Amino acid sequence: MIYEVRTYDLVPKTMPEVIKRFGEGYEERKSISEMAAFFYTEIGPLNQIIHIWPYKDENDRAECRERSLSLKGWPPGIGDFITRQTVEIFKPWPFSPLLEPGSFGPYYEYRSYMVTVGKMGEYRARWEKALPTRSERSACSVVMECDIGTASKLVHIWPYESLDQRGDVRKTAEDDGIWPPKGDASIKVIDYQENKILLPASFSPMQ
């Protein structure tokens, strides 16, 4: 399983039109393969959309993308509204949940970490030990490592019913000492962290 994560920065004030056109085009595109989710930023970088596409492997991705070129309504006509595109291929960690359709949010915290070079294995071991207990407080949607694109990048996504729930869960998990994942404090494992709060578009399989 791989996830293609496409992040687009948009011209200000064009978000409603972009979502409208994308949703219309997706009605035809999903006959070939369905995406996992379509989000837009609520807190964090403004005017940004993120769409995530699951594929069996790189060959499946290439075949689906090739077939989509024959569609009349795809790609959606949003090119004039895009100022920057980032495309990355991720692989979920073996113990990670996989992205599934359903109502889990509507708030999704999308956290991106740059892991210290050479320390991904150490950090993965910490997660594998700590995630089950942390997930008892609130579910994780996915933990995935970038395979093609940005080296040493980790992304994890957490759904919440409200921002208040997010704050409460994170505080109690930290106060109880179960999160963040613990390890040898002398070993540096993270160089940079970024997070954003996302909301799903109406046509997103994840809500």
Instruction: Round the average pLDDT of the chain to a whole number and report it.
Output: 97
Question: Tokens 């490592």 identify what position?
Answer: 145
Does 206 fall in a domain? no
Does 185 fall in a domain? yes
Task: Tell me the pLDDT tens digit for each residue of 108-148.
Answer: 999 999 999 999 999 999 999 999 999 999 999 999 999 99
What's the total number of domains in the chain? Answer: 1
- Owning domain of residue 40: 2-200
- pLDDT over 90, % of the chain: 100
Per-residue pLDDT at 183: 95
pTM (2 d.p.): 0.97
Four-CA torsion 66, 156, 95, 182, nearest 10 degrees: 150
Four-CA torsion 58, 20, 77, 6, nearest 10 degrees: -30
Q: Where are the alpha helices (DSSP H) in 69-162?
A: 120-135
Identify the three-state secondary structure at position 38: strand
How many angstroms separate the CA atoms of 87 and 73, rounded? 21
**Is the separation of the CB atoms in 89 and 149 below 8 Å?**
yes
CATH of the domain at 149: 3.30.70.100
